Amino acid sequence: RRRRWYLVFEFVDRTLLDELQQCSSRLDLNTCRQYLFQVLRAVNFCHQQDVIHRDIKPENILISQEGVVKLCDFGFARTIASPSEGGVYTDYVATRWYRAPELLVGDIKYGKPVDVWALGCVLIEMLTAQPLFPGDSDLDQIYHIVRCFGNLTAHHQELFYRNPVFSGVKLPECSKIVPLQQRFSKVPPTALDLKCLEMDPKIRAQCSDLLEHLLFTQDSFNISVARSCTPSPPPAPATNLLHLPSSSRTLTPSIFVSSANRPAASDHLQGGSYHTGTNSLW
Q: Per residue of the chain (282 residues), give pLDDT as tens.
A: 688 888 888 889 899 999 999 887 889 999 999 999 999 999 999 999 999 999 999 999 999 998 999 999 998 899 987 655 556 656 555 689 999 999 999 998 899 999 999 999 999 999 999 999 999 999 999 999 999 999 999 999 999 999 999 999 998 888 889 999 999 998 999 999 999 999 999 999 999 999 999 999 988 877 777 767 666 565 555 544 444 444 433 333 333 444 333 333 322 223 333 233 333 233
Give the right CATH number for 16-274 from 3.40.50.1970, 1.25.40.20, 1.10.510.10, 3.30.565.10. 1.10.510.10
Give the C-alpha separation, 192 to 98, whole Å: 16
Show which residues are catalytic: 55
Nearest to 76 by CA among 94, 97, 100: 94
Q: 258 has which bridge partners?
A: 70
What's the confidence (pLDDT) of residue 93?
58
**β 69-71/61-63 pair status:** antiparallel
Nearest to 95 by CA among 121, 62, 69: 121
Full-prediction pTM beyond 0.75? Answer: yes
Give the C-alpha separation, 179 to 12, whole Å: 37
Give the C-alpha separation, 78 to 80, whole Å: 6
Straight-line distance from the first to the last Cα atom of the chain, in angstroms, rounded to the nearest whole number: 26
Indicate the domain borders of the chain. 16-274
Task: Report H helices in 194-254.
Answer: 207-210, 214-217, 221-228
Centre a 10 Å sphere on the Cβ of residue 72 and count the other Cβ atoms it contains.
20
C-alpha torsion angle, residues 82, 87, 92, 98 (rounded to 10): 20
What's the confidence (pLDDT) of residue 25?
81
Q: Please tell me what DSSP assigns to residue 257.
A: E
Q: Please tell me what DSSP assigns to residue 24.
A: S
Residue 139, burial from CB neighbour count under 10 angstroms (0-12, 13-18, 19+): middle
**DSSP structure string for 151-185:** SPPHHHHHHHHH-GGGTTPPPP--SS---HHHHTT
- Our measurement of the distance from residue 200's CA atom to the centroid of its chain's CA atoms, rounded to an integer in Å, reads 18
